[in-house]
Chain A
Amino acid sequence: MREAGNIRWKRIWFWLSIVINLGFLGVFKYYNFFAESLAESLSYIGFHIDLLTLNIILPVGISFYTFHGLSYVIDVYKERIEPERNFVDYAVFVSFFPLLVAGPIERAQHLLPQIKRTRIFNSEQAVDGMRQILWGLFKKIVIADNCATFANEIFNHSDAYSGSTLVLGTLFFAFQIYGDFSGYSDIALGTARLLGIELLRNFAFPYFSRDIAEFWRRWHISLSTWFRDYLYIPLGGSRGGIWMKVRNTFVIFLVSGFWHGANWTFIVWGALHALYYMPLLVSGNNRNNLATVAQGKLFPDVKEFGQMVLTFGLTCLAWIFFRAENVGHAWSYISEIFSQSIIEIPRFPGMKKALTTIMLVTFFMAVEWHGREHQFAIQRSFSQKNRIVRWSFYAFIVFLIGMFMPTEETPFIYFQF
């Protein structure tokens, strides 16, 4: 692209790269969705066509490394970075193992220089990496996998349960997906730190957000910022009038939903978040809560607490679409929640065991709250205390992992994306 003699050829190379990158994603991930949706739509108007669908396995993490590749191509085209001429360095950038399957989605301008420079072992950074790996393992193995048992039971048999049980199922899923995805990110970031590489931060305690705009500055940050830089801003960002902002915001939320998978549930999930975002955008309040909640204080005030509960509640409502089998399933799930059965006592197989998981989630959220001003929750836990106290805390987390790891393996949710 950079070697192209004129702007026309530069554009041709650029679009060719974009088409190839998106082409792989389109074929592997979205072809069946479009083919089936087209056939279904045509059937409504009397045309019955039998389109070929592909029976192929989706390569693990394809959405992640496609976006790595796209960011590189766009940055080279926009001349934000120099093209990488060393194939090995480029290959390491695209396929750096900690982030290959589930991110964070890296930028060439951030990662490539780190790959190219000589790295010197930094003990402090490596210890920090180990801490982050430990916390990531706890999130995934103890929190996410235990919550998954109950979330799966309740979502898979939602017809059989009362509204109150379905609420509990939603909460379990909310903590499952947070523990699962942020746990993976912590393990990836920690592993990279051991190798002297700092990856982009992906989570910043999103469940302590006071509004949806803050939530999206704290959840899957590498994807949100990717869409902001490579889609929202090129579309005009917030430079135009209010309708331009509304349109662009809807576009990025819908595309973000679609990025997760070729299913209407993800698109509705994205649309719902866009709707949540609108009042903040229109009223110009989308950048109200930039600092960490209750900074320097032990507890939030009543207003902040109420805002956090409301934001968490809205997020949970959207998670129902994310987790449901299809949009119909999500609707029936939500209808049952808003029925009289909401006042019944929750009941499902394994209810007693679920109490242990609720205790673990409480412990987890307490540690997260305590460490919310740092990169990850246990980064500075007991840092002022002597080594024995600090190590005892880490060893206690190791013990909790050994004591509460579920017997059945649950794959990472984001591996499917």
Chain B
Amino acid sequence: MKSFLKYTFLFALFAGVFYVFALLVWGIVMPEKIKSNLNYRIGSYGHMYTRLKEVNQYKDLDILFLGSSHAYRGFDTRIFQKEGLKTFNLGSSSQSPVQTKILLERHVNQLRPKLVVIDVSPLILSGDGVEAALDLIANGPVDKYCFEMALELGHPKVYNTLVFGMLSSFFSLHKNYTEPLQKGDDNYIQGGYVERRLDYYHPVQLPVKTIELNQELVNSLIDCLQLLSEKQIPVWLVYTPIAPSNFRRYIGNHLFDKQMGRLGMYDNFNNILSLNDSLYFYDADHLNQNGVELFNKRMIEVMKEHKLLEAN
């Protein structure tokens, strides 16, 4: 028995070392197609790499924006700047509250925002938070928060990518990487916003979808609110407009509004603004630049009505 336990332990150690080594080789050598559970994409969709580099230069913000692509493609920092507001957009691809929490923990003390705006939507809150976790690991530092996030999500892809991320930092595999500001139709704007070349959505019939929120993600959102409440930073939960044909397909919008309203200050701009599918969106989920301008101006008005920035 003793010898069995000894060799089991030694094999576990050996397999661990082998795994890490194999992951490194696999990650470097193999084509993307056969990296099933390893998704380390530096400079991927959404300019997170540049955003995380840039955020370190900011402090004492009026508003910090967080959330998914609805956030980084929906809150144009230039429009807020015109109103004299200093803002930064820390949105990232499919960012769920699990990642929002990490970003807050990492940056809120440095940024000291007067208001935090978090984009919330059924799409993100019913997901699994994995895509955004991979984005965050590949494009930012691998720190204790990433470990906590990996444990929270418990997903093989996140674990593998995290280990590869550590190895990548250790061996400085991507030290010379610079992300282009213009990628395809996307243009990164200083302050974290991504402007897309003006395009228009051609609506298609979308299947009906019942809103079923992932309670783990809702709990993470509550943690974010708790963290900000402890720091006495007001939070505004915002449901960014999506194409009306897309919005209408969700069953349970009313209940979603109610649930978010119970968590704190919340506005669903799909109900506040009446935007046309084809004129103000470039796809079912995202506003085009014309839509962003209308939305952000209305946001500023609502913010004033709520006296959100006057409290601090």
Contacts and interface: CB of A to CB of B under 8 A. Distances in A.
A302 interface: no
Task: Provide the main secondary structure of the chain B interface.
Answer: helix
Contacts of A355: 33
B8 interface: yes
Interface string B238-278: 00000000000000000000000000000000000000000
B258 to A, nearest CB: 30
A407 interface: yes
Contact of A130 (B8, B14, B37): B8
A126 interface: yes
Interface stretch (B100-108, B155-163, B175-183, B188-196): B155-163
Nearest to B37: A403
A42 interface: no
Interface stretch (A171-179, A204-212, A394-402): A394-402
A352 to B, nearest CB: 6
Interface in A362-417: 391-392, 394-396, 398-399, 402-405, 407
B4 A402 contact: no
Interface string B1-43: 1011001100100110011001100100000011111100000
Nearest to A121: B1
Contact of A356 (B3, B33, B130): B33
Interface hub of B37, B130, B157 (most chain A Cβ within 10 A): B37
Interface in A337-371: 352-353, 355-356, 359
Interface in A88-142: 121, 123, 126-127, 130
A403 B38 contact: yes
Given A395-B11, A407-B37, 11 more contacts: A126-B4, A356-B33, A391-B18, A394-B11, A394-B15, A395-B22, A399-B22, A404-B37, A405-B37, A405-B156, A407-B155
17 contacts: A121-B4, A123-B3, A127-B4, A353-B36, A359-B34, A394-B11, A395-B11, A395-B14, A398-B15, A402-B37, A402-B159, A403-B23, A403-B35, A403-B160, A405-B156, A407-B37, A407-B155
What are the 8 tightest A-B residue pairs by CB atom distance, in nearest-first order?
Answer: A395-B18, A395-B15, A123-B4, A399-B22, A121-B1, A404-B36, A398-B15, A356-B34
Interface of B: 1, 3-4, 7-8, 11, 14-15, 18-19, 22-23, 26, 33-38, 130, 155-157, 159-160
